């Protein structure tokens, strides 16, 4: 059986897909790079973003149309099996299993990947019918209190950066977020287990690890907190850099900030998700901090970690957000001066507290107007931040080479996570280079090797 896997969503989904590849390979399934070669198509899905489910639904129909034309997966006489994995499998289980237009074959939630070989085998068998003579499709969306996949080593493509999940699930229950319902409660891997995986990554040539968790800085296992974990991972010699995402402002203790400041391997980039600058909206979101506390934390981070780069997440148009609420968000954005920001228009997610308690009453046109204003402000701030690096020499870790339009360009990242381009010069991905910044835009820095004259 040949398997094709397609991934949607966040870094955690990318890591989960690597786990799935490892589990299926161990069960002697063949993983193929092209959809048309596959007997089974797996879609690892996300339920966080707006219209995420519709994108996957459209993809399912596309796969089926391609098969009918003889250009898609499966044989001429037999359509491919289609399996839905990830957060959508948990969040939209009933619709996925009962929607006759989709006609998918099986689903598996984020804690059920070890059962995938059995689910695939079951889906291959003769249709099982219940008392109503309807097809009963294989599924497992059980949420575990213990599963961390610490005994599965992901099957990765070689590269510079490796995702490494150190914990799973979330206990925060922000009212807009579906994660606690699709990925369950928090549980962490042991320090020794994470360090062992890091050693294996170093042995395979990876230079950077990015530690992942839905609330990564709430990591805790056997008396060790996230600061202890960062120090332990940094002891792996061949690893040059350590990043982490995504944290919560409530869990930035001084101990953690001190480790980021003094440990040379931990990158001086902190992601501080704001979500809103309005205390009223923050309370409706159940974010557990006020705008004043957030501003105080941002100031402390800058004080304890000189030169730190800050990024954030912001949601506009949350339930009942007024013009005054939105202006409060703009005010915080200006006061903090984030290097970059990920901005989103609020959309209700099935099963969240907000869906049950609040009305999504901000018109779409107003959401659009607000996000445009927010992005324009952030573009100005990012340009100012990036232009301040012109003339500086930054250490760059080379991560990618070339694009369709610029095949000879190298792409790397500075310690603060700024994207930097420079011309090809016989370098290898994974090299650390001293690069002088000569130009900047809101999203990218341009550099030359230190000591190279500008023509």
Strand, coil or helix: what is 194?
helix
pLDDT for the residue 455? 52
Q: Identify the band that residue 249 occupies on the pLDDT scale cut at 50, 70 and 90.
A: very high
pLDDT digits (tens, 9 = 90+) for 54-99: 889 899 999 988 887 776 676 655 788 999 999 999 999 988 988 8
Give mean pLDDT, residues 161-175. 97
* pLDDT over 70 (residue 131): no
Q: Residue 287 is encoded by which pair of tokens? A: 């974010």
Least confident among 165-179, 220-234, 294-308, 415-429: 415-429
pLDDT for the residue 53? 77
pLDDT for the residue 237? 95
pLDDT digits (tens, 9 = 90+) for 390-409: 999 999 999 999 877 778 89
pLDDT for the residue 129? 46
Beta pairing class for 409-414 and 393-401: antiparallel
Peptide bond into 106 cis (omega under 30): no
Domains, the chain, ranges and CATH?
2-140 (3.40.50.12160), 161-387 (3.80.30.20), 393-449 (2.40.50)
C-beta neighbour count of 274 within 10 angstroms? 24
pLDDT for the residue 454? 57
pLDDT for the residue 73? 74
Helix, strand, coil abundance in the chain, percent, nearest 5:
35, 25, 40
Distance CA 336, CA 230 (A): 26
Average pLDDT of every residue of the chain: 93
* pLDDT over 90 (residue 264): yes
Give mean pLDDT, residues 201-229. 98
pLDDT digits (tens, 9 = 90+) for 314-371: 999 999 999 999 999 999 999 999 999 999 999 999 899 999 999 999 999 999 999 9
pLDDT digits (tens, 9 = 90+) for 98-120: 888 888 999 999 999 999 999 99
* pLDDT over 80 (residue 188): yes
Q: Which of 30, 22, 34 shows the shortest CA–CA distance to 1? A: 30
Q: Which is more confident, 78 or 244?
A: 244
């Amino acid at each position: 059986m040949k398997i094709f896997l397609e991934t949607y969503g966040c870094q955690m989904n990318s890591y989960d897909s690597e786990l799935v590849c490892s589990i299926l390979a161990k069960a002697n399934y063949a993983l193929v790079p092209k959809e048309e070669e596959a007997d089974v198509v797996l879609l690892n899905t996300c339920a966080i973003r707006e219209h995420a489910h519709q994108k996957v639904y459209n993809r399912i129909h596309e796969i089926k149309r391609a098969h009918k034309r003889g250009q898609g997966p499966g044989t001429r006489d037999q359509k491919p099996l289609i399996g839905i994995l990830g957060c959508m499998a948990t969040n939209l289980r009933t619709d996925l299993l009962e929607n006759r237009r989709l006609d998918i074959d099986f689903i598996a939630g984020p804690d059920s990947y070890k059962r995938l070989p059995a689910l695939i085998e079951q889906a291959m068998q003769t249709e099982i019918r219940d008392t109503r003579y309807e097809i009963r499709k294989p599924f497992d969306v059980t949420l575990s209190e213990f599963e961390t996949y610490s005994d599965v080593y992901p099957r990765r493509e070689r590269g510079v950066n490796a995702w490494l999940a150190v914990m799973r699930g979330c206990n925060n229950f922000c009212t807009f977020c579906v994660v606690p319902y699709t990925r369950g409660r928090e549980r962490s891997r042991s320090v020794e287990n994470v360090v062992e995986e890091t050693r294996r990554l170093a042995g395979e040539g990876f230079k950077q690890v990015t530690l992942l968790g839905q609330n990564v800085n709430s990591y805790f296992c056997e008396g060790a907190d996230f600061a202890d974990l960062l120090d332990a991972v940094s002891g792996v010699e061949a690893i040059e850099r350590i990043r982490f995402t995504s944290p919560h402002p409530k869990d930035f203790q001084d101990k953690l900030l001190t480790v980021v400041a003094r440990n040379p391997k931990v990158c001086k980039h902190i992601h501080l998700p704001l979500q809103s600058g309005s205390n009223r909206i923050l309370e409706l979101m159940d974010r557990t901090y006020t705008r004043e506390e957030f501003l105080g934390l941002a100031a402390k981070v800058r004080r304890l970690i000189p030169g730190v780069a800050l990024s954030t997440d912001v949601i506009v148009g949350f339930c009942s957000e007024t013009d005054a609420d939105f202006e409060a968000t703009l005010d915080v954005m200006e006061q903090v001066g984030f290097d970059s920001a990920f901005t989103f228009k609020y959309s209700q997610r099935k099963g969240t507290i907000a869906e049950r308690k609040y009305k999504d009453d901000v018109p779409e046109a107003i959401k659009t107007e607000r996000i445009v204003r927010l992005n324009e402000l952030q573009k100005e701030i990012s340009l100012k931040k990036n232009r301040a690096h012109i003339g500086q020499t930054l250490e760059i870790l080379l991560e990618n080479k070339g694009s369709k339009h610029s095949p000879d360009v190298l792409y790397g990242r500075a310690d603060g996570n700024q994207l930097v381009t420079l011309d090809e010069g016989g370098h290898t991905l994974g090299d650390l280079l001293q690069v002088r910044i000569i130009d900047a835009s809101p999203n990218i820095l341009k550099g030359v090797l230190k000591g190279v004259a500008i023509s």
